[in-house]
Chain A
Amino acid sequence: MGVMKLSKTLFQNLFRKPDTKMYPVIQREYTERTKGHIGIDIENCLFCGMCARKCPCHAITVDRNSKTWSISRMQCIMCRCCVGYCPKHCLTMENTYTPPSTTKVVDTFTFVPPPAEEAPAETPAAE
């Protein structure tokens, strides 16, 4: 009995594909909810600082004057508090990871105002 069971498992293991993924060739699919990294739609940000105040790890810094929003990636614990508290819903939890790094990465996003409406290009030529 024991030998039968053993040989069944043995043959299964011999002819089955490995359970691990052949990583660089086969990439893992992330789910919709996977906690990858925090993304920001900087165009909509008010620079109100609510996310920075509600972050339990003080990972976010908001500067209203220079219109920058920065996040210390290593400090973030992916709790999604900032996503919930942002009044403009401009923060999202993206499901991909940031690239591995050997230093404590701080990502900074700066709001660049769109170029001011250009003056009408064609002025009627003076006769």
Chain B
Amino acid sequence: MGKRTVIPFGPQHPVLPEPVHLDLVLEDETVVEAIPSIGFIHRGLEKLVELREYPEMVFVAERICGICSFGHSWGYCHAVEGLMNIEVPERAEYLRTIWHELGRVHSHLLWLGLLADSFGFESLFMQCWRLRETVLDLFEKTTGGRVIFSVSRVGGVLYDMDADTLAEMVRTLRGMEPEIRRICQVFADDASVRNRLCGVGVLSKEDAYALGAVGPTARGSGVAIDMRMTCHGKYQELGFEPIVETAGDCWARTQVRVREIYQSIDLIEKAVERIPEGEIAVPVKGNLPENACFLARVEQPRGEAVYYVKSSKATKFLERFRVRTPTCANLPALVKMLGGCDLADVPVIVLSIDPCISCTER
């Protein structure tokens, strides 16, 4: 048995912009234990419910994460709508589904770029981010913002999209698809990429389930859990099926995300075909109900996020707002994957869960 050394990793690390700190206990070059600590970027967003009325809180919820911003605002609205028994118009639900899937395409392209960067493949990183730019332009055209959209409202959405804009969106995405396929082919069969990803950070199906992994981390290990299989949004009508890989290594998690990009484009196309005419929001007035709570679950690009809202008095202020983000659920699985890996593989494994520490700490 070699001598044990402890190497600190993060919170400032060249490959990882997210402030997570890991104490890596090493034996020679092998990690025997990883002890994570977070708490470097806590912003106290949940506490703000005491100062912001419930319709205004959606802008705070949106700022939990800069990448899944639409998903977070949807999750919050979904929770408050459940609390107040508001029936959201069909068209609004479809529009939310379209924007949410568009967000998934942008998030996964961003992540693929970061992964390429983590194993030193700079040009692949640039190519992925170049493609992502087109999606951001679509967002700007339809919502007005590239990253923060402010289109979600309790009771519906702010903006509609006309038939031409929707058709244009599908055309743009379909036009991008061959290029995405060409670039993602590199992740699938380039020898140097496979050397860095295949068999690295293996998480078995049993472990993924027992440790409560969510999102592509769980699906890469063969656990078919996806909140889009439940009743949120319009996924049931669109015939959603979760994408699952069974190898459980970094490569499998990459493939899940690559295939989810194509799936999201398909879902957007189907949603555009089926979107009904009608209202895009219902007016929401009045106070919150007394002593009520609601739990909403939304599938973010990184996995399942849970939103809990509680009101105690009939005012405009919620008493409690609690968010459990996907990275929080994936950290135990990450610690498990890191046990026994090489020191050089640590950045790749950490990135393979798509960590978003800012939303974990809110």
| A-to-B contact residues, CB < 8 Å | 2, 5, 9, 19, 31, 33-35, 56, 77-81, 84, 93
Question: Chain B interface secondary structure, helix, strand, loop or mixed?
Answer: helix
Range class of the B interface residue count: 10 to 19
**Given contact pairs A2-B190, A56-B52, A79-B150, A31 touches B144 in the complex (Cβ within 8 A):** yes
* Interface status of B141 (Cβ within 8 A of chain A): yes
Offer 6 A-B interface pairs, CB within 8 angstroms, sorted by A.
A31-B141, A31-B144, A33-B141, A33-B159, A35-B144, A77-B150
**CA gap between A84 and B55 in the complex, in Å:** 13
Q: How many A-B residue pairs have CB under 8 A?
A: 38
Render B174-206 as a binary contact track against A, CB cut-off 8 A, 1 for contact. 000000000000100011000000000000000
* Interface status of B17 (Cβ within 8 A of chain A): no
Q: B143 contacts which chain A residues (CB < 8 A)?
A: 33
* Interface status of B360 (Cβ within 8 A of chain A): no
- B190 A80 Cβ-Cβ under 8 A: no
Q: A19-B130, A80-B144 are in contact. List 11 more A-B contacts (CB 8 A).
A: A2-B190, A19-B133, A31-B140, A33-B143, A33-B159, A35-B145, A56-B52, A77-B59, A77-B150, A80-B150, A93-B144
- A56 B59 Cβ-Cβ under 8 A: yes
**CA gap between A79 and B61 in the complex, in Å:** 13
| B-to-A contact residues, CB < 8 Å | 52, 56, 59, 123, 130, 133, 140-145, 148, 150, 158-159, 186, 190-191
**CA gap between A80 and B145 in the complex, in Å:** 12
Which single residue of chain B is at the shortest CB-CB distance from A36? B144
Question: Chain A interface secondary structure, helix, strand, loop or mixed?
Answer: loop
**CA gap between A77 and B52 in the complex, in Å:** 14
- Taking the closest CB of chain B, its distance from the CB of A6, in whole angstroms, is 10
- Taking the closest CB of chain A, its distance from the CB of B134, in whole angstroms, is 10
- Taking the closest CB of chain A, its distance from the CB of B337, in whole angstroms, is 29
**CA gap between A5 and B186 in the complex, in Å:** 10
The 9 A-B pairs of least Cβ separation, nearest first, read A33-B144, A56-B56, A35-B144, A31-B141, A79-B150, A79-B59, A19-B130, A35-B145, A31-B140
Q: B56 contacts which chain A residues (CB < 8 A)?
A: 56, 81
**CA gap between A79 and B159 in the complex, in Å:** 12
Q: B148 contacts which chain A residues (CB < 8 A)?
A: 77-78
**CA gap between A56 and B140 in the complex, in Å:** 22
